[in-house]
């Protein structure tokens, strides 16, 4: 909605054969199309360089992480995998953007937000765990698909 001068999307891969990379590029393209149609001033940029992505950032949303392989995968296993993902981001954040505010959406969110703070050394008041929002967005998308309506028509969906 034009609230940011620049929105930078980082993906560690630049390989078109990588599913996450393709999804990221499609998202950036769609965001720029939507922005242009609505006259927004925000510029969307893509990079595979984490330092470049964090340079000058005021707000950083961290969604990086390994998804659960199955509903029965233990939380402790997911935690161990995602520590390996979050740690390099936290270290780079400490060096490049220590004054930014961070929203952590990597699961398990509570543990990942704490891990990010411990690894980055950034003041805890600048770090927020965004628990449930991704799940809510997925649920809204699922409901809209099943009901064959636009996601914006699904009102007051909550994951508790």
Can you give the pLDDT at residue 91?
95
Which residues make Cβ contacts (< 8 Å) with residue 11, sequence separation at least 6? Answer: 20, 21, 24, 46, 48
Can you give the pLDDT at residue 25?
67
Report the DSSP pairing between strands 127-129 and 101-104: parallel
pTM of the model: 0.68
Can you give the pLDDT at residue 126?
95
140 vs 39: CA distance, rounded Å = 26
Can you give the pLDDT at residue 105?
84
Can you give the pLDDT at residue 3?
66
- Looking at the DSSP assignment, which residues form a beta bridge with residue 8? 45
Can you give the pLDDT at residue 16?
58
Closest Cα to residue 143, out of 156, 131, 130? 156
Can you give the pLDDT at residue 94?
95
pLDDT along the chain (160 residues), means of 10: 64 63 68 62 71 86 81 83 91 93 86 94 93 78 91 84
27 vs 8: CA distance, rounded Å = 12
Can you give the pLDDT at residue 2?
58
Can you give the pLDDT at residue 90?
95
Q: Which 3 state secondary structure label does DSSP give 35?
A: helix
Can you give the pLDDT at residue 38?
59
């Amino acid at each position: 909605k034009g609230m940011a001068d620049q929105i930078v999307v980082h993906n560690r891969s630049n390989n078109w054969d990588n599913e996450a990379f393709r999804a990221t590029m499609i998202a950036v393209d769609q965001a720029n199309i939507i922005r242009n149609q609505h006259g927004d001033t925000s510029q969307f940029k893509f990079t595979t360089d984490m330092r470049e992505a964090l340079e000058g950032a005021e707000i950083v949303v961290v969604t990086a992480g390994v998804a659960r392989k199955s509903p029965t995968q233990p939380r402790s296993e997911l935690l161990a995998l995602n520590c390996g993902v979050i740690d390099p981001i936290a270290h780079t954040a400490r060096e490049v953007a220590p004054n930014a505010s961070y929203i952590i959406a990597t699961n398990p969110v509570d543990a990942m937000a704490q891990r990010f703070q411990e690894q980055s050394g950034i003041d805890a008041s600048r770090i927020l765990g965004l628990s449930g929002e991704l799940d809510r967005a997925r649920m809204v998308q699922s409901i809209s698909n099943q009901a064959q309506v636009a996601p914006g028509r699904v009102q007051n969906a909550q994951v508790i």
